[in-house]
Amino acid sequence: MPDSVIISKLFIFLRKNFMNLPRRSGILLHPTSLPGPFGSGDFGRDAYYFVDWLFSARQSLWQILPLCDIGTGNSPYMSPSAFAGNIFLIGLEALRDEGWLKNEDLVPCTSFEKYRINFPAIIDFRTSRLKLAAGRFFETADETSKRSFQAFCLKSGFWLETYALFRTISEIHGPIWQTWPKPLARRDPVAMASFVSQNDHEIRFWKFCQWCFYRQWDALRAYAHSKGIDIIGDIPIFVSLNSADVWANPELFDLDDSGYPRTVAGVPPDKFSDSGQHWGNPLYNWKKHADTRYDWWIKRMKHMMDMYDYVRLDHFRGFQAYWAIPADTGIPARGKWMNGPGSDFFEAMKKEFGSLRFIAEDLGVITREVDELRKQYELPGMRILQFAFDLNPANPYLPYNYDHDTVVYTGTHDNDTTRGWWNSLPEQNRDLVRRYLSINGEWINWDMIRAAWSSTAAIALTPYQDILGLDSSGRMNRPGDKTGSWEWRFDWEQVKSWPSGYLAEMTEIYGRTYSRQ
């Protein structure tokens, strides 16, 4: 092949990839961490203020954690539904403005905390207010609102009916569906019809909450778009055992005849945990999914891509091979690698959606096969700066080893904050960081942000905790710990006037300004 042809083909390849992945930057912040008067962040006015802050800082991406309903340990990665939204993100003041709540309903609870979510308090408070709002909606709503609700129920019926029924049965018989009366656990049509007729009011409540959630989320996302900001969502690879999805589709999961898992999800020891992690989610019956041409997954992915502009695929390596832990041991080290669906899965996704707007969370134990699968479908991978400084010059997390198809983070929700990481870093590694970045470490959070922004990675992101310069008190999640995570939130008094301008200048200097137009 002539050199001119090779050069031409290379130029086209590079141009295609650089056009698909323009240089951009943004902030990782889950909406629950926003300020607000009712104990946790939500889709209310403070979410709009945060979009304004992103705009002032010239950021074009807002990454969030899964917006699905929370489950065990208040984790968004253990949701009772792969489709339903977290009802505690519904802005209550908007419901008051609709006339479905009153001012006296919105007196904050004395148990609410400014910098931490008291989950029992906010769950009790917000649930009771949502029930008040639902009651008034069904009594007093105008025809336009009622038609909107009915249209949502019709459009979302493929998951909403099951979810609302599952949550209602759970309130009566407990969250573990395997212990329900057998006719309900096995979804006997006669028993189900009888239950629906007796509990229609409660079922309608859960549908109302989902309508409110998606209505408010769509409005917030549209506002972000008006400011030139795209949303990066997050799809957990696994779902909770105690979920509407497993109850309604037991054949899609590796369960025994009683509905309990034979094997559960987790990971072997890695950079996040020396002993490995036991997540406890049921594993998929991938053969059954393949037999249905991944119908459930296609519905799930379409739902996610309707919600977000890009989707982070949590635990991407699990699609190539996953760590199966025998359910009767609960010990991560006793698991073994099992083959995932691999390219067959992504071919089905590509056939359905064409362009795959996915970011592969390729952290942990990554093999050549995992990397090849990611590259085969041109999915950008992730690099974490906190993992870079282990004195190994070949470390893939060092910026000079990045490919362009990379999303670099100072840290993720699973890491300590940058200041917390720095405070616990051995002196030998600190010395390398200081020499690599030519710094003294006093502004380590901003030094790491600059390293990310100046890198060759297409996308650079940092948790908002690093913008605020918080220590370990701002950590969002501690992998392996079953309590105390997902509770962090900030207050506007922590946000100084200068960081937005400083970040905006850095974004311009390193060519990460971006326009959606």
Catalytic residues: 314, 361, 414
Whole-angstrom Cα distance, residue 234 to residue 77? 10
Structure letter (DSSP) for residue 315: T
Q: Does the CA dihedral 43-46-52-55 come out positive or negative?
A: negative
* Residue whose C-alpha is closest to residue 214's, from 144, 143, 160: 160
* DSSP-derived secondary structure letter, 483: S
- Structural element, H or E, at residue 451: helix 444-454
Helix (H) or strand (E) holding 264: strand 263-267
The kind and range of the H/E element at 271 are: none
In terms of Cα–Cα distance, which of 392, 390, 398, 455 is closest to 426? 390
- Check: CB of residue 387 under 8 Å from CB of residue 271: yes
Contact 297, 284 (CB under 8 A): no
Residue 232 to residue 311: CA distance in whole angstroms:
6
In order of 92, 165, 264, 313, 514, the CA distances from 207 in angstroms are 17, 9, 30, 27, 38
| Closest listed residue to residue 485, CA positions, set 494, 496, 501, 472 | 472
Q: Cα torsion for 496, 501, 504, 508, to the nearest 10°?
A: -150
Q: Look up residue 331 and give its two tokens.
A: 């010990």
Q: Helices 343-353 and 368-376 sit at what angle, rounded to 10 degrees?
A: 10
- Quick check: 488 and 476 in contact, CB under 8 A? yes
Find the length of the chain: 517
Q: How far apart are CA 471 and CA 474, in angstroms?
A: 6
Q: Are 254 and 263 in contact (CB under 8 A)?
A: yes
Phi, psi of 337 (to 5 degrees): -80, 135
Distance CA 270, CA 489 (A): 28
What's the order of all strands across the beta sheet hosting 336-339? 277-282, 263-267, 321-326, 336-339
SS (H, E, C) 2-43: CHHHHHHHHHHHHHHHHHHCCCEEEEECCHHHCCCCCCCCCC
